[in-house]
Amino acid sequence: MVPQPLAHHRFPPRYNEPLAHLHAQMIQLTGAAKRFGPKTLFENLDWLVTPNERAGIVGANGTGKSTLLKILAGIDGLDAGTITTMKGASIGYLPQEGLSLRWIEA
């Protein structure tokens, strides 16, 4: 006899977390949209990242990966939609071109 999955659970627990904790919101985008002039990077984007979840963002050059990370870090804004973060969450962003330390005198 093959065991059947539990029908009332959409996803199994990860990292031995209780089921109630799986649906907690760390970062949530709802109906998010971003455009640069006539170019639409993304629209109607719904994305939920829960605590202890790892997410990767992949895509071709110019598709909005860095822009999305800047939006999550609060450096850039959405043209439409909402972003919600868990109370007390801290989000950082390290630019791909690195940081400049011009204020340090040699």
3-state secondary structure 23-75: CCCCEEEEEEEEEECCEEEEEEEEEEECCCCCCCCCCCCCCCHHHHHHHHCCC
Q: How many CB atoms neighbour CB 32 within 10 A? A: 21
Q: How far is CA 75 from CA 11, 66, 101, in A?
A: 33, 11, 19
pLDDT at 103: 63
Q: Does residue 78 surpass a pLDDT of 90?
A: yes
Which CATH superfamily includes the segment(s) 24-85?
P-loop containing nucleotide triphosphate hydrolases (3.40.50.300)
Which residue ranges make up each domain of the chain?
Answer: 24-85
What is this structure's pTM? 0.66
Q: Grade residue 81 by pLDDT with cuts at 50, 70 and 90.
A: very high
Whether pLDDT at 11 is above 80: no
- Which range has the top average pLDDT, 8-12, 74-78, 83-87? 74-78
pLDDT for the residue 23: 55
What's the one-letter identity of residue 98?
A: G
